[in-house]
Amino acid sequence: MATPNLVNIATITPKNAMGTLGDTNRTTMIDVPADTAVRIDTILLANDDGTNAVDATVEISNDNGSTYFKILSTVSIPADSTLSLIDTPIYLDETDLIAVTAGAASDLDYHVSYVELVD
């Protein structure tokens, strides 16, 4: 397993990851497989609670989940609102993870639009 060579990419596949956080545990949105890099273009976080705000945290791990680094830390998303998290691409290497945590169960939906680059 080595960092993918972006000059010799074998396949480029657009993908989406989405879901609803059913609890307040850290939930992996993308787990990058071996021999793969990922370019994340969009991260949307939607609060589907019609009354209450919900806190959201998004973290990246570059060591397969041992250590996480926050790119969004306990930000309150108002009721019935959507947060667009990034405005420039983020690249993840093989075995990197990106995860989200919600402050309340079943209130936060996520959508990640990304491109998988396989060496």
What are the C-alpha distances in Å from 84 to residues 5, 43, 47, 66, 111? 30, 6, 12, 27, 10
Note the residue count of the chain.
Answer: 119
Nearest to 99 by CA among 35, 17, 7, 16: 17
User: CA-to-CA distance for 42 and 85, rounded, in angstroms?
Assistant: 7
Question: Sign of torsion, CA 112 80 59 23?
Answer: negative
pLDDT one-digit tens code per residue, 50-98: 999 999 999 999 999 999 999 999 999 999 999 999 989 999 999 999 9
pTM beyond cutoff 0.85: yes
Q: Which two tokens stand for residue 24?
A: 């307040």
The whole-number pLDDT of residue 8 equals 81
Residue type (1 letter), 52: N
Residue 4 has pLDDT above 80, yes or no: no
Q: What is the set of domains in the chain, with CATH numbers?
A: 20-114 (2.60.290)
The whole-number pLDDT of residue 99 equals 98
